Amino acid sequence: MQNFEIVVVDDKQLLAAIGEIKIPVDPTFIKENYPQLSFTEDELRRRKTGIMGTMFPKSWQTPDPDLEEIKKEDRAAYMATQIVSSSAVLFVLYDPSRRAPASEGDFLGIISLGCAMENMWLMANSLKIGVHIVSSLSGKKVATEIAKLLDLPEKFSIAFSMRLGYPVAPVHYLLVRRDRDDFVHRNGFKE
């Protein structure tokens, strides 16, 4: 079920307008994702899951981040630079009214979105185009402002957005994966 549409934004003035949208820091995002962060490459290799915490602002990189201080941060200038420096930003819109038949909660439609994202990401990488999923552009308040800027029909929500561009310099991120035996079970689930 292709219950999505894609809006490509490559107009510099429109990118600048998107970059100027105030994006609040979501304390729930921090609380839910903090356990996934590692602060050394050794820790990340040992855990085999998560991401490097050093990719986030300094205020997030403490064992017990101060959520009130983080909420005060103004990320507008940072995001403006990120958005404007992109060659394009893709907004993938999701239409929940066009759900896959017999798919409670449209689980199959959500899987379809994941497949579309993966295909775009793989194609971009094959062309040496950098990809950055920008989850902060999907929040309700921010998405409402983006919808106005892009004249999006009300029936759509922003499923995800991705920045595309050619990296100025090669970027290396340590990627980790669990060993196969950590998640493959034979003839039943065994811990």
Q: pLDDT per residue over 42-101, tens digit each?
A: 998 998 888 888 777 777 776 677 777 666 665 556 666 788 888 999 999 988 888 767
Average pLDDT over the chain, rounded to an integer: 83
User: Taking the complete model, does pTM exceed 0.75, yes or no?
Assistant: yes
Q: What is the pLDDT of residue 6?
A: 94
pLDDT, average across residues 115-140: 88
Sign of CA dihedral 173, 146, 33, 104: negative
Tens digits of residue pLDDT in 134-147: 877 877 788 899 99
Domain(s) labelled CATH 3.40.109.10 in the chain stretch across 1-23+79-184
Task: Please state the φ and ψ torsions of residue 29, each to the nearest 5 degrees.
Answer: -60, -45
Query: Minimal CA–CA distance to 70: which of 115, 8, 28?
Result: 28
Highest CATH level, class, for 1-23+79-184: alpha beta
Calculate the dihedral angle through the C-alpha atoms of 159, 123, 130, 49, rounding to the nearest 10 degrees: 70
Residue 88, beta-bridge partner list: 164
